[in-house]
Structure 1
Amino acid sequence: MIFKAVLLGLVEGITEFLPVSSTGHMIIVDNFLKLSKNMEFTNAFEIIIQLGAILSVIVYFWKELWPFSGSDEEKKDKWIMWSKVVVAVLPAVVLGLKFDKLIESKLFNAKVVATMLILYGIILIVLEIKNSKKKSFKINSIKEMGFVTAIGIGFFQCLAMVPGTSRSAATIIGGMLLGLNRAIAAEFSFFLAIPTMFGATLLKIVKSGVNFTSSEWGIIGVGFVVSFIVALIVIRWFMDYIKNKDFKIFGYYRIILGIIVLLVLKK
């Protein structure tokens, strides 16, 4: 079980902040490699190790996120940034509370994941082809982004409630459609992930309960640590990558993976 925990931690850490759908990958992996027969434990494991990925964002962007450091102007900018994040997270809070159970019961399966991987892979590629003709973007910093744009990105994030969509893909696509450049869209997506994922994780932990044995908590701890370390490495690489390259490669990856999953499921 330790090996499976490490593998799932790797999958979570690699995919959480890339536009490829971490939930989708976890569902696919679990479809072929069961962590445990205890579904309550498996669900809790997959939820809790997300906190490791969230922690990596906080560590990596600490200077940009901590509102009590820097000059008075920098502190003001950080508080305004956080207010935009709060506004952007509201749609997911409202719609998530209303439709979470319905979506989880009806849509959390490999076929839906594969379909969404392909669909949003195509959207990413088309969007990048369209953006390749642009010489500049309207918004080149979070400071320039208005509250209306922030809540617009929040509504795009709600698309990711369907597994296989990818929260980061939905928010990055939304940000770019609303005028953000690629790097700022990705950065705001990371910031928005903190309250969104933290709230969703705590909600599901409360609903599912955490009455596990010490060995089960040890397995969760392994996944958590692996997820944190890997996600931190991936974020560092991803932020360097998007300075000079686009998202088309992730679109192609999504389409190929989605097709493979659909073919395997037909057998």
Structure 2
Amino acid sequence: MPLRAHLLELRKRLFLAAVGLVLGAVLGWFLYEPVFELLQQPLLDVAEDRAAVISLNFAGVATSFDVKIKVSLFLGVFVSSPWWLYQLWAFVTPGLTRKERRYAVGFLATAVPLFAAGAALAFWALPNAVRLLTEFIPEGATGIIDAQTYLSFVMRLLLAFGLAFLLPVLMVALNFAGIGRADTWRRGWRWAVVVAFTFSAVMTPTPDALTMIIVALPICGLYFVALGVCTLHDRRVDKRRLAAGLPQLDGTVPGPPPQARA
């Protein structure tokens, strides 16, 4: 596919993904109240445990409206995740055959639960992070936290973990598209483990190492599961190319078949 066609395809997929996000945001507008209460609950729990005044503050006249729009867009990302994940798949794998495009069903069936699982793991770690960060408020002082700042922190945390859980799926998608072979992912497994633990340490700023390990292990496990899937796919591709007498994707050229050598 020429560069111009790739750019046109990218524009098309971005437009369709944006439409899905807008429709999801409209639904999120009506779900704002219960979701807002859920997102601020960790802060309320900390205030109750410490018997301190820790609350959200809507500083400006239009702040409450801005927060509602921001939360609605955030919900739109989650609600429309099956749609924009499909658009991502459709852009990454345009050159696959009709049979191989059926993998899109498996891609969505895997990506959507993983995205939700990553967000759920972040929400599980959120109370500890909020508790640690609010411990620096001096005794007797009042913690008046800007609502937009707090909600931006929470939403970035949930989205970061959701996207982190999607990276193994992206590995498999690139492998199926012939862009990245399993050997490439295998050589970088040490860096992947380091990045996973670094990401967990940064995104879960808690004093105990157990939380960091609990968060990092699923990410590492998903990486190695994706590596196994890529390895099996590469073997099938190599066997088909060998049977057809084509050069292997690693650059080696197969010898003549046994009948020809005899």
TM class, shorter-chain normalised? under 0.3
TM-score by length of structure 1 reads: 0.26
